[in-house]
Structure 1
Amino acid sequence: MTKKSAFSMLELIFVIVIIGILGKFGVELLAQSYQNFLHTKINNKLQDQSSIAVEFIAKRLSYRIPDSVIAKEDDNTTFVGIQSIDPNRNYRTLEWVQRDIDGWRGNTRPFWSGIADLNNSVAAGAAIDTPETNTTEINNLIQILSDTNSTINDAAIYFIGSNNDVNSSYGWQGAAVAGVGAAMHRITAFAQNSLNSNFAGVDIYEYYQLSWTANAVAIEDDGKGNGTYNLVFYYDYQPWNGERYTDNVAKKSTIMENVATFQFRAVGSMIKIQVCVKSDLINNAEGYALCKEKTVF
């Protein structure tokens, strides 16, 4: 009986070629599928992170004292009011005075009323009477939120409707402000329904807001050398007392890493913010970045 091989040499070569072709395209298909999966996963992650970062900033900006907002350049001392920023300059920090919102909410009623009794205030320019204000609870709340780093005596009040200069009235220049010309009036003493400060010569308005901290959002070099930054949030410092967030008195937390740019500008009374982020897992030479922006009223 004649034996016959399973495959002739020609058939074997043909099978090997076909398997090689299928294998080549199969590997390419798998690689492309994995790359698409990776890009989708990274894109979704960046979408979530950038959305959280923008919302974090916007939420705090919504409680700003409107005419206190400034932009700073690289040296962290040169600043301008946000209404006066030059689009051709490199601003790295957005900074503002934030009114207290936690004490304003309260569980049953606000801890501070925001109302000054003009008929029963300012004895020798020293105090305002503010009905339904619980200064003891305000003090306790500030100590809790600042981890005992600040008290009501570090806080200040701002009169709504007062005429202020962002360049000199808030303490952004690094020197404490008080009395006439100051937007923020530091609380020097307090009693129930009463707040003391240097009000001599100061125009007293019926409505006020209380603040115990300024806030700053800054991009800082992350040391990776690839053009990305950390987006950092600073709080628990008082510029009206001569403090800067760079003086090691402020608390800080990182909002987001691998940030490509952080931009902002004023549009009337609104502020537009934009955060662009890159990923270490995607070749940044391709110029891939994802941006989120939001308008804050």
Structure 2
Amino acid sequence: MKRSFTLLEIIVVLVIVSLLSVATFKALSKIVQKSFKAKETTKLSLESQIVLDQISNLLADRIPATTIGYDPVSGDYKPLNSIDSDNYKILEWYVRAMDDYMDGHFSGFCDMIPSIDTNNYVVSYGFEPSNMYYASYNLIFAGSFDRATSDISDFQNAFGWHGGGSLVAYDISLSDSNSSAIALSDARLPNFVYEKYFLTIGAHAIARGADIDKSASCLDGLHIDENTLLLFYDYYPWQGQTFCADPNGTGQSGKAAVLMRYVQGFFAAEQDYTVRLKLDVNRTIRGLGSVHFSKQKVVF
């Protein structure tokens, strides 16, 4: 005789199947969550590496001695190789006119004797003012050790940073120049002329949202928070300008772009003529806890 399942047996089977289903769902859910967290961690790691590479490429065109650490609270700034605390959270530097240099519009070297004799000209053969790409340039001599260190006895007034003077950054005139000389239009003439010089086209700054004026108009539409890392560009310290979200600046100018979000810390220091960069990345993923790691890079 064929025996049928009793109602109790069916209920027991359903309970067992339900328990197995719940256990399987939880196991699969954890696998999916771990996979998602691993994916987000990998994504953040790649983004942070790309950002460090971008900053590294930008710093490759720096004029070394102009590179500073800036304290947004006190308004103080120092050469990057003199930073002695974590207060100097903003990194700034002058940018070389690399497009003009690579395209042969100037050589970066001058003829010492005629440059000294003419006094208000730097004789640099092959200079092509009519082909230059930008409207405003400044000239900085490289100095005896090729680190743009000429005449820097008063660094606070050397390059025009944050209201200081620009004693070693000389204005030039493209309209008053020819193919063998760069006319110095600055009111001050250099006390020393060095064989190598840089032409700069402006300054860059790297800063987190926590350290800037987030109400600045140049940040409109960028949707930043304190952990947003930004690049500031197209401003001219030798003209008295500061980057557009400088919390202490009176001559804010230039533009801003987002480099990365979820940056809990950004640090820069100079050691042995290299810039050491560090990013601390922290992101809270809802229901999965936080992802935190650090990335470092050395820029020569």
Pair in the same fold by TM > 0.5: yes
CA distance in 2, matches of 1:90, 1:254: 22
Match in the other structure for 2:242: 244
| TM-score, normalising length: structure 1 | 0.83
Residues 71, 82 of structure 1: 8 Å contact kept? yes
What is the CA deviation profile of residues 162-188 of structure 1, one whole-angstrom value per residue up to 9, with x for unaligned ones?
2424322111141442xxxx2211114
CA distance in 2, matches of 1:170, 1:19: 76
Residues 64, 97 of structure 1: 8 Å contact kept? yes
Residues 81, 167 of structure 1: 8 Å contact kept? no
Does residue 287 of structure 2 align to residue 289 of structure 1? no
Does residue 272 of structure 2 align to residue 268 of structure 1? yes
Match in the other structure for 1:156: 138
Q: Give 3-state SS (helix, strand or coil) of 1:236's partner.
A: strand
Give the stretch that moved more between structures: 227-236 or 50-59. Answer: 227-236
Deviation at 1:238, TM superposition (A): 1.4
Does residue 158 of structure 2 align to residue 169 of structure 1? yes
Root-mean-square deviation over aligned CA pairs: 2.5
- Which residue identity lines up with residue 203 of structure 1 in the other structure? F
Distance 1:276 1:201, change over 3 A: closer
Does residue 82 of structure 2 align to residue 100 of structure 1? no
Distance 1:76 1:185, change over 3 A: farther
Residues 228, 278 of structure 1: 8 Å contact kept? no
The equivalent position to 1:129 in structure 2, one of 123, 143, 150, is: 123
Residues 76, 93 of structure 1: 8 Å contact kept? no
Residues 127, 182 of structure 2: 8 Å contact kept? no
The equivalent position to 1:54 in structure 2, one of 52, 74, 83, is: 52
What is the CA deviation profile of residues 94-132 of structure 1, one whole-angstrom value per residue up to 9, with x for unaligned ones?
0011212111111xxx21111112233256522112101
Count of residues in correspondence between the two structures: 272
CA distance in 1, matches of 2:27, 2:9: 27
Deviation at 1:48, TM superposition (A): 1.7
CA distance in 2, matches of 1:84, 1:176: 19
Q: Give 3-state SS (helix, strand or coil) of 1:202's partner.
A: coil
Gap regions ≥5 residues in structure 2: 144-149, 216-224, 245-250
Residues 95, 202 of structure 2: 8 Å contact kept? yes
Deviation at 1:18, TM superposition (A): 1.7
Match in the other structure for 1:32: 30
CA distance in 2, matches of 1:49, 1:270: 23
Residues 176, 241 of structure 1: 8 Å contact kept? no
Match in the other structure for 1:229: 227
Match in the other structure for 1:147: none
- Which residue identity lines up with residue 102 of structure 1 in the other structure? D
Q: Give 3-state SS (helix, strand or coil) of 2:156's partner.
A: coil
Deviation at 1:92, TM superposition (A): 2.7
CA distance in 2, matches of 1:3, 1:269: 91
CA distance in 1, matches of 2:37, 2:168: 49
CA distance in 1, matches of 2:115, 2:54: 38
Distance 1:123 1:250, change over 3 A: farther
Residues 93, 216 of structure 1: 8 Å contact kept? yes
Q: Give 3-state SS (helix, strand or coil) of 1:121's partner.
A: helix
Match in the other structure for 1:66: 64
Q: Give 3-state SS (helix, strand or coil) of 1:278's partner.
A: strand
What is the CA deviation profile of residues 69-105 of structure 1, one whole-angstrom value per residue up to 9, with x for unaligned ones?
1111233722122122233x33331001121211111
Does residue 177 of structure 2 align to residue 191 of structure 1? yes
Gap regions ≥5 residues in structure 1: 143-150
Deviation at 1:133, TM superposition (A): 1.4
CA distance in 1, matches of 2:252, 2:151: 31
Distance 1:66 1:280, change over 3 A: same
Relative to total residues, which structure has the larger strand share, 1 or 2?
Answer: 2
Identity %: 25
The equivalent position to 1:200 in structure 2, one of 186, 189, 194, is: 189
CA distance in 1, matches of 2:190, 2:97: 26
The equivalent position to 1:8 in structure 2, one of 3, 6, 9, is: 6
- Which residue identity lines up with residue 160 of structure 2 in the other structure? G
CA distance in 2, matches of 1:218, 1:186: 28
What is the CA deviation profile of residues 211-262 of structure 1, one whole-angstrom value per residue up to 9, with x for unaligned ones?
0111100111479xxx851111111111122111133421211111221111
